[in-house]
Chains A and B, each alone.
Chain A
Amino acid sequence: MNQEIFKDNWELIVGLEVHTELATKTKLFCGCLNQFGNEPNTNVCPVCLGLPGSLPVVNEIAVYFAMQLGRALHCSVNRSVFARKNYFYPDMPKDYQISQYDLPTNLEGYLELPSGETIGIERAHIEEDTGKTTHIGTSGRISGADYSLVDYNRAGVPLIEIVSKPEIRTIEQAKAYVSELRGIILALEISDAKMEEGSIRVDANVSVREIGENDLRTRCEIKNVNSLKSLGRAIEYEANRHIGLYKNGESPRQETRHWDENAGRTRSGRSKEDAEDYRYFPEPDLVPLNPSEETITKIDQEMPELPSKRREKLANLTGVKPSDVALLVERNHDVFALDVIRRGGLPDQVVKHLVNNLSAGLGELTAESLAQLVQMENKSEITSTQAKKMLGELVQRGGTPAELATELGFEAIETNEIENLVDQLINQHSDEWERFCSGDTKVQGFFVGQVMKATSGQADGKLINQILNERSTSK
């Protein structure tokens, strides 16, 4: 794929629509469990099956979650009205989806990226999810399927759809937007936000224009993007497709396109021109949501610290790189890091361990343990290799570093003991020693390795190097 997007005078315009499944105990309009992975059609009732005569009753927790997200995105939370979006599809039991239309819960906010740039949020509204259809047959699609199976367990699961303004200008921004939004959602604990499992689904509206143009050109909506990586690839492919068309004197037509991960391209879905008219109208079975001033105030007061604020706190400590700050906040390890540092762990060492050695999780490791371990390492009581090994154990089974070091026999080896070992080696391997002294650094590793071998890996690598250098200069 050539990178036309970065050449010439083309500007990328992206708006993102992110659907998030809310982690409520029950569905949006009935008491059925909101649970992934159960036997098909077991979490169903007359309401989420849309049986004749059934009526929806809104889940207040879901509404609260939606308003929390709205406030976290600096939106105004308004009197809102559910609306019916009418279209026929077998995974939708009522053949209409209860969503929000002209009066959504959250309006006009913004999201701040780690870079400090902001992307406008148009709205964040509440709607119900559909069931899941599996088409049996060679095509795997509904056309040409032998038959199709529908699982309504997902039907009626609460979703929030967050619609950005078309203010995203680069692929990096698009990815950063989704990952920041994910971070906010995780901080609010309103969804597990797993893109791969579909609890976050991203559709990208992509268009291009020549720099300097004021109007937006025709956009295409890209669906079926399952990771941040595919999001980037899909946007890039689509932008280049548009540029290619314009260069040939053609234009893209407004349509929904599906990202094909294996083929690395988007494919035409249904055209928006002949797309259905959804005939939105206010849902008469539900009453408007009227959040009180007190509710909004309560949400604001109880707002957990969001990633941007947390990054700021961590970044204020010296010696922490911005990329590490972002990573730790994303992994939700920042609060832990601050705790360790407060207990006496040196910031750069604490962050180094968290970034490099604890990516799989903290397990049984406590902040106090990590602080102690970093201090031991700092006082050369243990080596960095030993520290790494100990971290593995502490994550697995907990305990204190001091006890663990004793148990593992990780006693600090006296400097003179290592000096003796180094001197012995110099005598035994005079050829190598000559090469080392004449500046062949390749044999340095040999000497370090031999000392490590003799001490069962317990010697401090830094110390060995220091001694080797002393001996060579004093020679």
Chain B
Amino acid sequence: MSSMVPDQYQSASEIAELVTTGEISAIEILERHLNHIEQYEKDVHAFNLVTIDEARAAAEETDKLIAKGERVGPLAGVPVAVKDNLCTEGIPTTASSKILEGWKPPYDATVVKKLKEAGATIVGKTNLDEFAMGSSTENSAFGPTRNPHDLSCVPGGSSGGSAAAVAAGFAPIAIGSDTGGSIRQPASLCGVVGVKPTYGGVSRYGLLAFASSLDQVGPFATSVKDAAIVHEVIGGYDPLDSTSIKQTSNSFLEVLDKDISTLKVGVISELMGGIDGITREVIEQANKAVSVLSAAGAQVEEISLPAALYCLSAYYLIAPAEASSNLSRYDGVRYGLRIDGANLNEMNVNTRTEGFGDEVKRRIMLGTYALSAGYYDAYYGKALKVRRLLAENFAALYKEYDVLLSPTSPCTAFKLGEKVSDPMTMYVNDVCTIPSNLVGHPAISIPFGHGQDGMPIGVQILAPPMKEPVMYQVAHTLEMAAQ
């Protein structure tokens, strides 16, 4: 096993403090990370593009502000890697698809804008499964990303590039998107913290849509505290996103260090062995987490989330259905790839045939079918019912419990190529993470122990909508115990 993981991570909050107080310059921090990238990136392939020039310009700008004594944001000088499905003005944004060849967005995603305003140095665009469809980052038009803990293993996906970038120490912070677990599952497989915020808590403006009702942007970090800091930076109401929530939450850091003795935690029995495919060692780690929380004084009980049994099926109807529509615009007419044809229709078909990979095509076909006249009620309509049922299940549980707990991924990182030929096995990877997306609730994955193969295992804390503070609080307790 060849590990690319540094012995120790420097946290984002520490970097920001050093930079803000002038103890170290932003450019120095950046160069250190660029060197690290230079050394290991060819093995890991976390990035589609390292934006060296833009990063240097941004770091120098931060240093200038500090030299002038001006206020800088909470992420001053912190290198941040951004998933390549988030728009960056003037910088290619590909979603790891050939179809966006040559396209440079004329605008920054709201999240990117907020990161820049907070003083972050954006170091590059990270690899992903094409259009965020996948759980291993193998479905990238630009080749797979490898797990920094073991280069023969996948980093998970679809935000595998972002997870690997943080795990490899290329950047203390990365941004990903989570539609069915695309932040939490790779975080789990790469041994870092990953957060899917409440739906509407972070703007989707500038995120290349996969499944609009499920997509949510969130942070990767090496600590719960860093994740919470970044979450606060990128979150909040955005008038450009109609699904953005106006209500403001308390600071995510407010109760981070508070003890959890007054809290009630439910353990989702369906995800602790109730559903096939979740490995014993993963369940064991989750049980250890339960013990930690009990020992810390929380009241922990096993609970049932019956609709969890249908989540995977519902997800694989809703997500492809929305994707089939969202990806229509990649037609060769206005931007990106165009493969000519004898007429318009042929040009559309040629472009999409050449531009999209197999998994994207599979999901477009699935979704198109699910939405077709005569099938809508049986498929899409039914999936929406599962969604409602699940929301009722959760609502009932949250009357009694503050947070819920489950594993994040059913297994540790698997080998490259191991599951690519069998989409169903691949899809099962999301069984623990999908419920949160279907109901729009927040969830976090934190590293908690290792498997027999030495690869990281993650534990997931789920919370009610807009209750991130308690989610971070419980996660922080587990993090302390894990260290």
Contacts and interface: CB of A to CB of B under 8 A. Distances in A.
Contacts of A55: 204-205, 240-242
Contacts of A51: 105-107, 335
A409 interface: no
A447 B360 CA distance: 92
B371 A281 contact: yes
Contact of B325 (A96, A142, A286): A96
A142 B372 contact: no
Contacts of B171: none
Interface string A252-283: 00000000000000000000000001011100
Given A52-B105, A52-B208, A53-B209, A285 B325 contact: no
Contacts of A287: 242-243
Contacts of B403: none
B247 interface: no
A51 B240 CA distance: 14
Contact-residue bracket for chain A = 20 to 34
B331 A53 contact: no
Interface string B205-239: 11111011100000000000000000000000001
A419 interface: no
Contact of B242 (A53, A56, A84, A88): A56
Contact of A285 (B206, B243, B348, B368): B243
Contacts of A150: 333
A461 interface: no
B402 to A, nearest CB: 28
B3 to A, nearest CB: 35
Interface residues on B, range: 35 or more
Contact of A53 (B87, B328, B333, B372): B87
B380 to A, nearest CB: 6
Contacts of A279: 324-325, 368, 371-373, 376
B165 interface: no
Contacts of B208: 52-53
Interface string B20-58: 000000000000000000000000000000000000000
A88 B331 contact: yes
A93 interface: yes
B443 interface: no
Given A52-B93, A143-B343, A95 B328 contact: yes
> Per DSSP, are chain A's interface residues mostly helix, strand or loop, or mixed?
loop
A198 interface: no
Interface in B78-94: 86-87, 93
Contacts of B242: 55-58, 285-287
A46 B212 contact: no
Interface in A194-237: none
A284 B107 contact: no
Nearest to A58: B242
Contacts of B106: 46, 51
B325 A281 contact: yes
Interface in A133-156: 142-143, 148, 150
Contacts of B324: 86, 279
Nearest to B214: A284
B239 A57 contact: yes
A181 interface: no
Contact of B205 (A54, A58, A90, A94): A54
A281 B321 contact: yes
A49 B107 CA distance: 13
A50 interface: yes
Contact of B207 (A53, A84, A90): A53
Nearest to A144: B343
A57 B345 CA distance: 31
Interface in B324-383: 324-325, 328-331, 333-335, 343-345, 348, 368, 371-373, 376, 380
Nearest to A87: B328
A49 B87 CA distance: 15
B201 to A, nearest CB: 15
Nearest to B86: A53
B109 interface: yes
B103 interface: yes
B322 interface: yes
B109 A53 contact: yes
A277 B242 CA distance: 27
A142 B376 CA distance: 32
Interface string B95-129: 10000100101110100000000000000000000
B239 A90 contact: no
A96 B329 CA distance: 8
A94 B209 contact: no
B372 A52 contact: no
Contacts of B107: 46, 51, 53
B347 to A, nearest CB: 10
Given A53-B205, A53-B207, A279-B368, A95 B331 contact: yes
Contacts of B103: 52
Contacts of A94: 328-329
Nearest to B206: A53
Contacts of A90: 331, 333, 344
A58 B243 CA distance: 11
A88 B343 CA distance: 13
B344 A142 contact: yes
A420 to B, nearest CB: 83
B348 A86 contact: no
A81 to B, nearest CB: 12
Contacts of A50: 329, 334
A277 B206 contact: no
A281 B207 contact: no
Interface in B163-210: 204-209
A286 B324 CA distance: 17
B205 to A, nearest CB: 5
Contact of A52 (B100, B321, B344, B348): B100
Contacts of A46: 105-107
A362 to B, nearest CB: 43
Interface in A55-80: 55-58
A284 B205 contact: no
Nearest to B109: A53
Contacts of B373: 277, 279
30 contacts: A46-B105, A46-B107, A50-B329, A51-B107, A52-B95, A52-B100, A52-B105, A52-B209, A52-B330, A53-B93, A53-B208, A54-B206, A55-B204, A55-B205, A55-B242, A56-B242, A57-B240, A86-B324, A86-B325, A88-B331, A93-B329, A94-B328, A95-B329, A142-B344, A277-B372, A279-B325, A279-B368, A281-B380, A284-B243, A285-B242
